[in-house]
Structure 1
Amino acid sequence: MKKALLLNVINPKIGGVLLRGEKGTAKSLAVRALAQLLPEIEAVAGCPFSCDPERPEELCDLCLSKLARGEKLEVVVKRVPVVELPLGATEDRVVGTLDIERAIKTGEKNFEPGILAAANRGILYIDEVNLLDDHLVDLLLDTAAMGVNYVEREGISFSHPANFVLVGTMNPEEGELRPQLLDRFGLSVEVRGIQDPEERKEVVRRRIAFEEDPEGFVAKWEGKQEILRERVRRAKEILPHVRLGEGMLDLIVRICLDFGVDGHRADIVMHKAALALAAFDGRTEVAEEDVREAAELALPHRRRRQPFEEPGLDQKQLEESLQRWRRPREEKGEGRQDPQDDEDLPSEGGGEKVFESDPPYKVRPFAFPAPDQLPRRETGRRSKARSDSRSGRYVGSVVPKGKVRDLAFDATLRAAAPFQVGRKDRSCGNALVITKYDLREKVREKKVGNLILFVLDASGSMAAEERMKAAKGAVLSLLLDIYQKRDRVGMVVFRGKEAKLVLPPTNSVEMARKYLAELPTGGRTPLAHGLKLGLETIESELRRDRSIVPFLVLITDGRANVSLEGKDPVEEAREVARRIKELGIRSLVIDTEQEFISLGIVQSICAEMGGNYLKLEDLKAGQIVRAIREVG
């Protein structure tokens, strides 16, 4: 993690770094600490973009206008800026917008810099980047790639330098980034908690020592920090002189081809990272080990990975690529370039029975209709929706059609500001004159989407004929479809005498897969308990957000034999099923019972629930054209 961050400081053109990992692994802390390592920079005094006075070709319009007037650019020395992007930031806050104060006073339309301006020549840090709206992530990545922020809005046309190191952190349990966005990050690192007991104890000691005496702790490590700071400064000086030979370029291309990465971005990033690694080591020639380490940082998030496959790079496959590259050179007597010792990498890594799942298979696509005509926003890729006009996050503004229902005060001010000078004669003592033509209405977005709740039978009867193995395969296959649509997922399991919510609704399909893999089978069949808990879980989610689209998937053989209230267990299950239908909850029932011994219980429960009925083999064969029908 630390090396990936340092490489981006040495060569910002690498394209940033994405830190993926579980919570509590110091991802955010490492980014903030990086600022203390960076050498100070020279910048034009008073420039909102921290322009470099030594690079006239990168000066902003403000600095260029000063030079045009014959003014001298005063220089100040300052720390490298580290700017954090808030999750709730709007687009105008990020890219910049109209300077309202100046527009009101003078009638001039001038640009007010945003977060991208503050981050120029520094670090732009996004915590929980996977929770940021996709359009903002696209905007940030485009700007980072071009190094310039172009603003065309509210009558303003402006551009300014935006060269920054983009650092994102995320917890995969809270949802993944789209592959297209993942590819735009130069490097990626998987961060895991330390497993060695002695090292964990040292983490605790250092944390407590810092809390008790922050100044003393910083002073204790200042010497080592200064050594590292000097090493980074020296690496930046060496970088322009580092050479990457044709053989090393051949190795980069071979590795990318062997791992089947899409496009050419991986090759380019590996080239830049290998140069930075050599410079960081004080060398002017890229070695094989530099290329290997660059691959370990540039490829994990780009390689073709099946859903639910563990992240990371297959070290055996990487070694095979290196061997194939070495073989013809060893035969020619060239040997390895600049051999170094390989660094050891950390490894990735009674009536009950745990069944493995059948391999996943492709299921027919599902169409999940919205249960009403409420405006919603499209989240995922399955249900289309727009936001309610008075709820959700404010993301923009429009000229209203008819009566204004949700006034965008800031946008209204921006629209009116340039005309205040001309309206002074009819101000009647008012500070501002706003006409109906200035009014703007808010555009809101609300995070809603589909909730897929699995209610899974894990009783002993599911062990017969390896039904549980097939059922797990069905769930895994449905999870694959959910993964592709970016829906939320939850899981209720019933066995023995009760039902449990083993996975509360989450965006992490990976967590559902892990729970599924470890799920034991055994005991009696409390089917009514499972349906009741599934219903209660959905009701709880709907109380929090009425706009979600819930969907219940029941997987069972129907052999209920545990009562809720002393009644017939099957009849109780039918009663709960009727309540599910009355609430308008869509459902899919997958029957795992074998046909030659079928009791027809699952079909009757499905009929009471008003759901779609599938035999397990039908789902696997893909014979259903559409599993969920749209209801009018």
Structure 2
Amino acid sequence: MQKARQIYPKITPEAIARILDYTTNLEVYSPRREIALARLALAYTRWEGAAEMTVGEVDAAADMMGLKAANRQQQTEDLPDVSSEPVTPQPRQPQTREENLKPTKSKPATVREPVYQSDETEPQPTIAFKVPSNPYSEDQAPVEREAASLRLPSRRFHLKAVGRGAIIGVEKVAHFQDLALVRTLLEAAKCQPIRQRSTTNRNQLLLSPTDLHSYRRVPIAEQMLMLILDHTCLRDCDWQEELLPYLSWAYVERASVCLIQVGAVDARHELRAQKLMAQSILVPQITAGIEAGRGKATPLAHGLDLALQTLRHAMQHGRSTIQQAVLVVISDGRGNVPLEASRLDKIVLPVGSKGVEDALQVAQLIRGLDGVKAVLLNPQPQQYGDLPLELAEAMGAKVALIQPLETWEVK
């Protein structure tokens, strides 16, 4: 290794051309791949102790990586010439008498210890090594992050952001909208000694277009993710896998999030659903609300009513900025608390199927809202399996099935 570090071989033009043969036929081109192959071939040349890096070293390095050349031709000039004539063995010369009389040194006798073989053969572990067909696994690897996570997404409904978000800084502008007066005056004050030389009235503050600064604000969300989560029906189904695409959409689109918890174990009022609002899916309260345990009651009608009131206020009241809402409902439809009981926080007997009927009535009102896309994730309950379908039909929602957990996962 120390000797190889002291060798600096020369790279021949033929070796460079061969490196390009291996990298020009790739679907995804990157100069880093050419550099990687050249460095590996150079390291192999230094290990062999050669003075030049030839085509052979490049081919050896490419075989290590599993690469195939675009126009691979057999290099016959490097192979030795082999004659087709048969080679006759030479007769062995007999030893002379003097050579036979030479004394030979006797080797010391080695004592061999007996080796006892075991009666049972121990199986040796076999290691299966599979050579990948594509040495660059990053070409087919799934995307695990957003391509531009720090860049704001393009606006879909408005050409420019509305100046009503929280102030996070200032920036230079060429207009008079939403001016940051203090920063503008401070910038103008820096150049007053120079600007007042060209005027007779030195008691005035001279402004220039380069002094104008406006507030930089957080963009207000144009889309909303409304999630109604029935915690009492999540025991035996893989609901996280079906919910993940909608959470990813809310993160990519920078949508605001409204979580309606139905039947949560930590609910303030057992007979009522509770609402959590956030400007982003990254708010810790949203994650904690999604992962909450199951309670005893299922006020599904009240949860749908909270969603109805929130959607109306967000999309129809005042200078609304929410242009599109995605409503995701995870429920088996078995609401056991009537809407009137949730409002009064008191159960009035008899209940019967009043909770299911109230939920279907509120769902029909949600169906009449414009700009709302509804999806119901069906946990496929074993009892009353038709209730989720009736709830989806009342809302006009699409239905996606949630796969049940395996037996070993439930245990």
User: TM-score, normalized by length of structure 2?
Assistant: 0.42
Structure number with the higher strand fraction is 1
In our comparison, the structure showing a higher alpha carbon Rg is: 2
Between Structure 1 and Structure 2, which shows a larger proportion of helix residues?
A: 1
